[in-house]
Amino acid sequence: MPATREYDLVVLGSGPAGEKGAAQVAYFGKSVALVEKEPVLGGAAANTGTLPSKTLRETAVFLSGFRHRELSGIDLRVKDKVTISDFLSRERVVIERERSRINENLQRHNVALYSGTASFVDPHTVSVRPKDGDEMRLTGKVILIATGSYPFRPPMFPFHDPRVFNSDTILSMPAIPPSMLVVGAGVIGCEYACMFAAIGVQVSLVEPRDRLMPFLDAEISASMRQQMQSLGIEFLMPDNVDAVETRDDAIRVRLKSGQSQDTHTILVTSGRNGNTASLGLDKIGIATTKRGHIEVNGHYQTAVPHIYAAGDVIGFPALASTSMEQARTAMVHAFDLKYKKDIAPILPFGIFTIPECSMAGETEESLQEKNIPYVVGRARYANNARGQIIGDQDGFLKLIFREDDMKLVGVHMIGEQATEVIHVGLTALLTGAGADLFVQSCYNYPTLTEIYKYATYDALGARARRQKER
């Protein structure tokens, strides 16, 4: 009979949801065990997804000289031909530091770590089978499933070919290819398309829809497409892959439109599946969707009330930031910790394309569907002193106010530091602020944040003109 150990909480997975959920409960003096099947901590966020891809973006921006595009013709690019070593060296350093940070955080909170593959024996017991060693069983009063996700692999693509990658394996490519076909114009596809285009790869992007990232405000999505085209990215949309033929010198891709294209590399970004297949959830009455995601209620409880799930394993929005908050909120509910009872009602979305774009709150489309009258104000980087300094002529901030009382309801940005500057608007949304907040505030000069004031002035002017016309 395997040895058994008892805990208040057993966590499956050490990604953002698993780490923060475990630390939240341990902070309040509960006994916590965390199981990780991979040899390293951090999940996809630390090892194959969030941090690696964002680090690669910074490397691509630096090596391409993108940030210095308007500095009086000065060429600050490091070299004309970028090697894979150039591209990945910083990413490896960041990954190692993040793994160490996670390990130190869990140790500081006295979380017991177990390495192995977890599966349910019964609703309160998990079997942990290490690669080497004996099975261990952990029982928990509460169990948190935070096993994350993995890339969906459509069967038409020959993933056995070393030139065909998904978002997890792209970091293992041996060399920077001359050309790349990216399949899927979602967040991951657009981010990687920008990174590789910035360092000189000829990138084509195929997408069955006619719009990039349709959850974005339509104006931001259109601007993003225009700026990606300026990087040299070719858009094949709406279209989709019909067949793939591997050749010695290239990969030939036939599209449903009848067009054919040869490429050196394919990156498939067709969504992600929940990491649930090996958990034995059917034994304990928890069903999953066809993509392996677990359904939860507003407290992140599964069909079995003492078993919670958070992060990518429950599907959209599948962001590291939201995953952390989901897990914290779930564990406060599970243990009645009298702390953080609800996740924030408005969440930010950050897309690390080149340039960045970000949003929070309503879009014009969503307000139109709800028949809510609104006014829009815009302020462009080209008219902002800091925007002039950094050479960003195309970025802009878009604020959406409810027309009757000028309460802020949506914030949208594209341009340098958009994922940072968006937080000013996010905080205003969460506090229910309106135009007066930005009119009364004094911002440092020269800063990008100053554009909030001028976007508000623009909206107030639009409202005044509209009222005058009536």
Nearest to 351 by CA among 189, 182, 166, 232: 189
| Spatial separation of the C-alpha atoms in residues 261 and 255, rounded to whole Å | 8
Q: Is the pTM of this model over 0.85?
A: yes
Tokens at residue 451, please? 């554009």
Per-residue pLDDT tens digits of the chain, which is 470 residues long: 788 999 999 999 999 999 999 999 999 999 999 999 998 888 887 777 777 788 888 877 876 766 655 544 444 444 456 666 677 777 778 888 989 999 999 999 999 999 999 999 999 999 999 988 889 999 999 999 999 999 999 999 999 999 999 988 988 888 889 999 999 999 999 999 999 998 889 999 999 999 999 999 999 999 999 999 999 999 999 999 999 999 999 999 999 999 999 999 999 999 899 999 999 999 999 999 999 999 999 999 999 999 999 999 999 888 888 999 999 999 999 999 988 778 888 999 999 999 999 999 999 999 999 999 999 999 999 999 999 998 898 999 999 999 999 999 999 999 999 999 999 999 999 999 999 999 999 999 999 999 999 999 999 999 999 988 87
Structural domains of the chain ordered from first start: 3-151+273-335 (3.50.50.60), 164-268 (3.50.50.60), 355-469 (3.30.390.30)
Tokens at residue 17, please? 């949801």
Q: Do 229 and 265 touch, CB atoms closer than 8 A? A: no
Beta carbons within 8 Å of 436's beta carbon, 6+ residues apart: 406
Q: Which amino acid is located at 304 in the chain?
A: V
Cis amide prior to 355 (ω within 30 degrees): yes
Beta strand 164-166 with 266-268 is parallel
| Spatial separation of the C-alpha atoms in residues 426 and 431, rounded to whole Å | 9
